[in-house]
Each structure stands twice: as C-alpha cells, then as structure tokens.
Amino acid sequence: MNLDQYSSIFWDFGGVITSSPFEAFNKYEKAKNLPENFLRKVNSTNPHVNAWALLEQSKISLTEFDNLFFKESSDLGYPVKGSEVLSLLEGNLRPKMVKAIKQLKKLGFIQACLTNNFIPTNELQPDMIDQEEKNNILNLFDYVFESKELGLRKPDQEFYDHVMEEVKISPEKIIFLDDLGINLKPAKLMGITTIKVISESQAREELESILGITL
C-alpha cells in the first residue's frame, strides 16, 4: 500500500461525485442541430472571462448569464440561451464514489471538495440530488472550496494557491480527481498527482492502483 506516500484526496463534485453533464450537452446539440461539442466550445472560448467563468465567480446574475451566453454562442454561429444550458447540468449521484470517500475518511485521509459552482434559484436547482443529500456528502469533507463563495475558480492559479494555503499539505501528498484536464493541469504542475475522471469505474480503479488498496 502507498498510504504513507499520500495523505490527502481532492475531489471535484460535478462529473466526479455526480455524473457528467457532457452527455446531456451532446443530446441537446443533436436535438438542436448544433455541431458536436459546441456548448463545450462556447465554455472554453475566453475561459477566464466568459459568461460561465463570471457566473461561477458570482460576478453576474443568472439573467445576465442567460443574455451573455446567448451573445457568446451567437458570435460563434449558433445562438443558445444560457438558461437552456443550465437546465442540462443535472447529474445523478455516483454511490460508489461516495462509498470511496467514506472509506478514505475512515482511513484518515484529509479530503477536500474543489468545485466550480453558482448560486441557484428556487426555479433552478441543477443537481438531481436534493440539497440535504448534497449537504450530507459535503459534510464528509474536511474542506470545501466553492467558486461561488471564493470568487475564484478552477483552473485559475489563484484558486489552487488559496486551497494550498488553507490545507497546508505538501502537493506530493495529494491526489486530485477532476473530469476536466484543464482543471488538472495547474495542479499537476504544482506536483499533485492527478486523475482525469472519464467514468466512475475507471476513476476508482486508478485511485485504487495509486493507493494500493481496494475501495
């Protein structure tokens, strides 16, 4: 086992603990005759200052996001309402991931949730899991870092600098799971071991392999 080598696990929430929205994005694109991965293209254009980035840092309202995303998508050739994109963010809970978090907690790992999110309204709750269940999961973590609270988001270096200052753990002792490579790159450059989550089983197998344990 490599339990002496690592002492902390960092987890993204959406796309890791819950299922990825990308499948819903692709279904929407097909239904609306949009190019494949068009929504991801909009989100990755001017990624530090676009509508998505501003929303996740609580710098614009949902109404402003709706209008700005519409403009950004229109500029790329296909107008899409931001509100329609937000409705695609629903994710199903991955029970085996939650089980792994609980097992690692029992083993004494310090765990943190690093999530880009936004302040929802009563009309828009993007997770299919209810808020109480989500809070129960978040309570498993020693630290929770939310972009909507910090005004910082992944993959900005300032986000990771803030996290490392708070947890005070050497990067070499940390494993970080995220479903976006762009979010993992800064962490990897800092010396953190990273796992790109493609599927629930793949991520758990990689984590088990690195730690030398069964989850």
Each residue of 146-156: pLDDT tens digit? Answer: 999 999 999 99
> What is the mean pLDDT of the segment spanning 157-183?
98
| CATH code for the domain defined by 22-86 | 1.10.150
**pLDDT at position 124:** 52
Q: Quick check: 62 and 124 in contact, CB under 8 A?
A: yes
List, for residues 64-85, the tens digit of each pLDDT value: 999 999 999 999 999 999 999 9
- Residue range(s) occupied by CATH 1.10.150 in the chain: 22-86
- Indicate left, alpha or beta for 88 from its phi (over 0: left) and psi (-120 to 50: alpha): alpha
Question: What mean pLDDT do residues 118-124 have?
Answer: 66
User: How far apart are alpha carbons 156 and 175 in whole angstroms?
Assistant: 18
| pLDDT value for 121 | 61
Closest CA to 17 of 204, 150, 173, 157: 204
- Boundaries of CATH 3.40.50.1000 in the chain? 8-19+91-211
User: Domain 8-19+91-211 belongs to what topology?
Assistant: Rossmann fold (3.40.50)
